[in-house]
Amino acid sequence: MCNAKSSDRELVQIADTALADSVRRSGAWLACRPGCTQCCIGVFAITQLDAVRLQEGLAELDHRDPERAERVRRRAADAVHRLSPAFPGDASTGLLDENSDDFEDYANDEPCPALDPETGTCDLYAARPMTCRVFGPPIRSEGGLGVCELCFQGATSEQIAACELHADTDELEAELLARVESATGKRGNTIVAFVLVPGSP
């Protein structure tokens, strides 16, 4: 997994560099700053590559600040307890059902367990999933160019397009994900809470 780790660092660096460039171009249009937690509320799907990165980040936090790491684990365990009964997938493995239509309206008010509710910052920021790394600036998806609802207030579509985040990571991310899934035997998406509890699937 050593080679996979160095490749994941490359993936993260590409995404973070693209984000920094978009942030520079976006300027005051971006509302993103410490304490703004809009994007930390509501569950979202993460890959097994994200899951491994989060688990490694939590292990590193254990060395630096065990009490803080334990608070993250406690919040994750509480979230799993709350979320399991209606989980749109297999709650024993934490894997989402890719064919379920229930995920869109699932747990939209649930805070991420990595979010420190007192500071409004992420306790696992350096290990955050790819979705978190690129959220805020305009990013293109199948539905077009999307932005956080708090950002780009009053901006024209041209101004938004001029700040689009360009991160050419799809091919590298797919390759790394395939390697991780092969090495761990875990395939499919999950959510943050399920990967941060002790003995998590």
**147-163 pLDDT, tens per residue?**
888 999 999 999 999 99
In a domain, 50, yes or no: yes
**78-131 pLDDT, tens per residue?**
999 999 999 999 999 999 998 888 888 899 999 999 999 999 999 999 999 999
In a domain, 87, yes or no: yes
Token code pair at residue 74: 């406690």
In a domain, 142, yes or no: no
In a domain, 22, yes or no: no
Would you say 195 and 51 are in contact if contact means Cβ atoms under 8 Å apart?
Answer: yes
Q: Which of 74, 70, 52 is closest to 1 using CA atoms?
A: 52
CA dist., res. 8 & res. 15, Å (int): 11
Range of the domain at 182: 2-15+32-133+170-195
Number of other residues whose CB lies within 10 A of the CB of residue 94? 24
In a domain, 81, yes or no: yes
pLDDT of residue 144: 83
Q: Which residues contact 47 (CB under 8 A, 6 or more apart)?
A: 129, 130, 173, 177, 189
In a domain, 128, yes or no: yes
If one counts the domains in the chain, the total is: 1
Would you say 58 and 124 are in contact if contact means Cβ atoms under 8 Å apart?
Answer: yes
Place of tokens 């009964």: 85
In a domain, 155, yes or no: no
**Given CA atoms 107, 201, 1, 185 in this order, what sign does their dihedral have?**
negative
